[in-house]
Amino acid sequence: EKGGWSSFMAKEISEEPEAVANTILGRVHDGLVSLKELEPIGDEALAGIDRIVIVACGTAAYAGMLGKYAIEEWSRIPVDVELSHEFRYRNPIITDRTLVISISQSGETMDTLMAVQHATKAGARVLSICNTQGATIPRESQAVVYTHAGPEVAVASTKAFLAQVTALYLVGLHLGKVRGTQTDEQIRENVIELQAVPEKIAEVLSVSQAEIGQLARWMTDTQSVLFLGRNVGYPVALEGALKLKELAYIHAEGFAAGELKHGPIALIEPGQVVIVVVPSPRDPHSLHPKVVSNIQEIRARGARVIAIAEKGDAAVLPFADEVIPIPLAGSLFEPFLAVVPMHIFGMELAAAKGLDVDQPRNLAKSVTVE
């Protein structure tokens, strides 16, 4: 039931901290990750994996993109992310050293199920990340890591996305251990970061909800919104754009910020709203100044800039119309925090337009046809 919430989505966004915490629960021992769910594949086989392909649709595919950054970083295994329906209709290069990871909240998405069957037939090891106990996709997979986000009723996924990213990160840390690409000390540091995420999400929720609600109310007539992000901020930008399409029926596009000058900048005209995910000033790849200069470029062309930036980031203040602050976190962990305002924003804008937040037109919670 909705309880006192205005919509299931409002309730589910409020549950984002627990979705992450409950997905970690019971999977950390002595500060290290151990996923006994991976036993059907076995650590020996996992140590020999030479390629990972993540298959998913919609929001789950953006969770998969985030998984790519973390898994590659920690396990040094190359990871590709493919939309299930694209993967299925090719002759993908798969061997018994390929690990296919499917991600599905419902575990019933036909496109992803077909991808899982296709991968199994081709001889891959198949691991599924799923939020629904006993659903079809987990039943057809060699191994399953369940996300513990709790039932998700609103059609557009919110808390399940965060739980999916959590599960992927746990898989990445497990692989890092099995392959010896991460020392125990490094794994422990990352586990501590991951365990700190729920409390930081709670902070984002309490700090940004009112501000985003206000923003949404002046944006009800907005026709188009662009989202920019770089590195792990890029999938966050894509997720933000998807939420706006799904929930508020506003044309929205997410871009990698580095791509701006290769095309999208032509779209910038006075009044264009651009939401930018700003990397931390401490970003290890030094992307912060590059994104700040993107903001300057679009601002100079009259864009209205809403920045999601680390709290205390003084460099963005002079150039952004609005700043939504997020707590400090390691680079790979920022998306857990930056995506939360995206979810609130989609929901608030839909609500401000008087739309049905939980049941957007033309969409279904699980699409069981191809």
Quick note: the x/- pattern for ligand BG6 over 328-367, rule CB under 6 A, is: -----------------------------------xx-xx
In this structure, are strands 32-33 and 28-29 parallel, antiparallel, or unpaired?
A: antiparallel
Sequence-distant (≥ 6) Cβ neighbours of residue 135 within 8 angstroms: 104, 106, 107, 108
Rounded to a whole number of angstroms, the minimum distance from the CB of residue 10 to ligand BG6 is: 16
Report which secondary-structure segment, H or E, holds 177. Answer: helix 159-179
CB of 298 to ligand BG6, least distance (A): 29
- List the catalytic residue out of 159, 245, 261, 365: 365
For ligand BG6, the binding residue among 112, 128, 208, 280 (CB under 6 A) is: 112
CA distances from 49 to 169, 256, 358 (A): 17, 29, 40
CB-count exposure of residue 262 (10 Å: 0-12, 13-18, 19+) = exposed
Active site residue 177: no
102 near ligand BG6, judged by CB under 6 A: no
Residue nearest to ligand BG6 (CB): 58
Residue 53 to residue 116: CA distance in whole angstroms = 11
8 Å CB contact between 104 and 137: yes
Indicate left, alpha or beta for 302 from its phi (over 0: left) and psi (-120 to 50: alpha): left
> Is residue 23 a contact point for ligand BG6 (CB under 6 A)?
no
Q: Does 105 bind ligand BG6 (CB under 6 A)?
A: yes
Q: Let me know: does 101 contact 124? Beta carbons within 8 Å.
A: no
The DSSP string of 107-160 is S--HHHHHHHHHHHHTT-EEEEEESSTT-HHHHTSSEEEE-------SSS-SHH
The yes or no reply on residue 295 touching ligand BG6 (CB under 6 A) is no
Scan for tokens 């999916």, then name that residue.
164
CB of 7 to ligand BG6, least distance (A): 15
Beta-sheet strands, E only, within 242-348: 251-256, 273-277, 304-310, 322-326
* 135 makes contact with ligand BG6 (CB under 6 A): no
Residue 141 within binding range of ligand BG6, rule CB under 6 A: no
Stretch that binds ligand BG6, among 152-160, 279-287, 316-324, 331-339 (CB under 6 A): 152-160
Q: Which is nearer to ligand BG6, 20 or 320 (CB)?
A: 20
Which one of 46, 49, 54, 57 is in contact with ligand BG6 (CB under 6 A)? 57
**Cα(306)–Cα(247) distance, integer angstroms:** 19
Regarding 162 and contact with ligand BG6 (CB under 6 A), the answer is no
Instruction: Give the torsion through C-alpha atoms of 263, 266, 267, 271, to 10 deg.
Output: 140
Report, in Å, the least distance between residue 246 CB and ligand BG6: 7
Applying CB under 6 A, among 23, 109, 136, 331 the residue interacting with ligand BG6 is: 109
Q: Rounded to the nearest whole angstrom, what is the least distance from the CB of residue 198 to ligand BG6 in the complex?
A: 21
Q: By the 8 A CB rule, do 103 and 63 touch?
A: yes
Give the residue, chosen from 28, 54, 60, 171, that forms a contact with ligand BG6 under the rule CB under 6 A.
Answer: 60
Q: Which of 23, 59, 166, 190 binds ligand BG6 (CB under 6 A)?
A: 59
DSSP string, 59-75: HHHHHHHHHHHHHHHHH
Using the contact rule CB under 6 A, the part of the chain among 155-163, 173-181, 255-263, 339-347 near ligand BG6 is 155-163
Q: Which stretch binds ligand BG6 (CB under 6 A): 9-17, 55-63, 68-76, 189-197?
A: 55-63
In angstroms, give the least distance from the CB of 115 to ligand BG6.
11
Residues 6+ apart with CB under 8 A from 26: none
Is residue 136 at the binding interface for ligand BG6, with CB under 6 A as the rule?
no
Strands across the sheet containing 125-130 = 79-83, 51-56, 98-104, 125-130, 143-146
Instruction: Tell which positions 193-222 bind ligand BG6, by CB under 6 A.
Output: none
Binding site for ligand BG6 (CB under 6 A): 57-60, 104-106, 109, 112, 155-157, 363-364, 366-367
Residues marked active site are found at 365
